[in-house]
Structure 1
Amino acid sequence: MLINGTGKDLCDAADVSSVHRQLMAGRQFLNSHAVEGLNYQKALQDTSRDAHNMLLTSGNG
């Protein structure tokens, strides 16, 4: 949730380039496979996928 809600702000504050933001987007903490097997944690799966997609599609993240 923290990344989904404040990821752009954190990257802005840290002056992270858009290239590095895109490189980080597929890493373990946002890797879509990191939530596999959590069949009873739909909210966690959805939040993780939303954060991943937000960073991949955002021009600023």
Structure 2
Amino acid sequence: MLRFLEQAWQTDVPATARALLNKAVGQMFTLQNPAQSLMQRELPDGSGKTYGPEFRYIDG
């Protein structure tokens, strides 16, 4: 998803950017179930707070 976003921002061709953004958005929808599951898990520190999605970009 992040690679599609990066590529969309780097291209000067509007049609290519639009296609890449559409791919990124499509992949965002695949994150819904894992994100919801993660956000229901409590942190192990006893605070009662829950995890949230974290995104890490790895260049390569």
| TM-score normalised per structure 2 | 0.39
Larger radius of gyration: 2
TM-score calculated relative to the size of structure 1: 0.39
Q: Higher relative contact order by CA 8 Å / sep ≥ 6: 1 or 2? A: 1
